Amino acid sequence: MSGEAARALVARLRTVVPDGCLVLPSSPRYDTARQVYNRMHDHRPAAILRSLDETVLRKALTSAATLEVPVAVRGGGHHIGGFSTVDAGLVIDFSEFRAVAYDPHTQTARVRPGARLGDLDTQLAAYGRCVPSGTVSDTGITGLTLGGGIGWLVAGHGLTCDHLSGARVLLADGRILDVSRDQHRDLFHALRGGGAGAFGIILELRFRTLPLPRITAGSVRFPLNRAADVLHRIHALLEERTPTSLTLAPTLLHRDGVPELSVDLCCHGDARETARETTRLKKGIGGDWSDVTERPYPRWQAHFDSSFLPPMRGYWKSTHSTRLALDPDLMTDALRAAPTARCSLLVEYFNTDTLHAHAEGSAYPLRDSRMGVLLSARWPDRAQDDTHVHWGRTWTERLRSGHDSVRAYSNYSDTSDSHAGMAGAGNALRRLEKTYDPDRLFARGHRAGLTDTRKARTPQDDQQNRLPSGPTTPTAP
């Protein structure tokens, strides 16, 4: 991408887009506006556009496409791979558009594309409702849903994408599609956890909501020398039976500089199930359970926020397995070898029956996973990049060694991970690409690795890949 094209884009945007929507390199707001969560991705876009006006967005997309300038779309800006920014390109930044509207008649939430998990949690709680989501409240709901969405209710209620009921998507050619189970089903399928992006710009998401659960949650902490044993015991219990109302997320981390295992957990069944599951786990692993108590759900959703405050540089690597086979001893060794105290290993467990109950019409590729391990490194200083990246890579390789069927969760992986999510779904993705984004305007992130199909297009392809029937409103001018 040439500097000339970037300059031409800015000149063109200035004539077709209101000034107030644009943040340009000359603006005092630019340096803040261009930042994403992971400061490793320190890019300088040619222009940042903040608007939900469909006409403005269409004009901006047409300008970028004509000048062949790359486009990145930002929800909450949290993807660790820095997918929502781009050098010398156009960033469409929705991070300020965070409204959530709840309709009590349909029990559905309509969500703006920049909404964070905390926006949904607090606003829906006022109606006694929720949407299962992730565990840090500043994460964007749009990116989270596109990759799946693993959180405290996953054991019983599945992923965030399992509660998506529809979306409005603006395509590169200017059409706006209302996407749902009944309309543009193939695209809806991809939005539900496919991990390959939206093939367009999501202007609104719609979710079915659940009654706000009563939860019992907290952390049972162990010194590091007990960690491997406790994790082995958890695996033995889960081999017998994986609960549907207890989500377990043990984390190996440093607290106040001291390494430990914190078995973080959330029971979300009724009182009898909660008593049964906590008693069983308590008997199995022991420890001090005084922190595990009944808590308001929105508060538990934000409980770990202070450990993830930006700005930081970050490197994550995720490994999912269909067996409870990833080795607790190695995980413990990995924490011992961590270069600094902000490195951690998060272990997540899944009930595959729950995940499969929601599988129809979803491209989420990890419904057979029984566990996932996320090695996460965060550090403030550029000089420490190499040691942290090396730690994440090396220990992930060791953890994966001998396991041939491991995969990675797209929301926790950058493009360097060949195991990331969508492996095996290539042909389906190429079909979607031809139908919805043939010129690959939105082919960033995990989709960037797909072969460019433009040259291979034939008239037969076009015939085969006509848009599925269903209204498209309104048609591009």
Ligand X SMILES: Cc1cc2nc3c(=O)[nH]c(=O)nc-3n(C[C@H](O)[C@H](O)[C@H](O)COP(=O)(O)OP(=O)(O)OC[C@H]3O[C@@H](n4cnc5c(N)ncnc54)[C@H](O)[C@@H]3O)c2cc1C
**Applying CB under 6 A, which residues contact ligand X?**
37, 72-80, 83-84, 94, 113, 134-136, 139-140, 142-144, 146-151, 197-198, 201-202, 308, 411-412, 444-445
The CA-based diameter of the chain, rounded to the nearest angstrom, is 68
358 touches 193 (CB < 8 A): no
Least CB distance to ligand X at residue 388 (A): 15
The strand pairing partners of 253, in sequence order, are 260
Residue with Cβ nearer ligand X (151 or 438): 151
Q: CB 312 → ligand X: shortest distance, Å?
A: 9
Nearer to ligand X, 112 or 235 (CB): 112
Separation of CA 443 from chain center? 17
- In whole angstroms, the minimum distance from the beta carbon of 35 to ligand X comes to 11
Q: Closest distance between ligand X and the C-beta of residue 197, in Å?
A: 5
- β-sheet bridge partners, residue 116: 140
Please state the φ and ψ torsions of residue 274, each to the nearest 5 degrees: -60, -45
Q: Which of 335, 310, 179, 192 is nearest to 251 (CA)?
A: 335
Q: How far is the CB of 17 from ligand X (least distance, A)?
A: 18
Nearer to ligand X, 161 or 261 (CB): 161
Q: Residue with the closest Cβ to ligand X? A: 143
Rank residues 102 and 308 by Cβ distance to ligand X and give the closer one: 308
Q: Please identify, using beta-carbon distances, which residue of 8 and 125 lies nearer to ligand X.
A: 125
The CA-atom distances, in angstroms, between 79 and each of 33, 144, 182, 333 are 16, 9, 30, 27
In the complex, minimum distance from the CB of residue 52 to ligand X, in angstroms, rounded to a whole number: 10
Q: How far is the CB of 81 from ligand X (least distance, A)?
A: 8
Q: Are the C-beta atoms of 122 and 237 separated by less than 8 Å?
A: no
Task: Yes or no: say if 206 and 166 are a contact pair by the CB < 8 Å rule.
Answer: yes
The CA R_g of the chain, rounded to the nearest whole Å, is: 22
> Helical H runs in 17-53?
30-33
**Contact call for residues 81 and 72 (beta carbons, < 8 A):** no
228 vs 346, which CB is nearer to ligand X? 346
Instruction: Name which of 198 and 228 has its Cβ closer to ligand X.
Output: 198
d(C-alpha 436, C-alpha 178), whole Å: 13
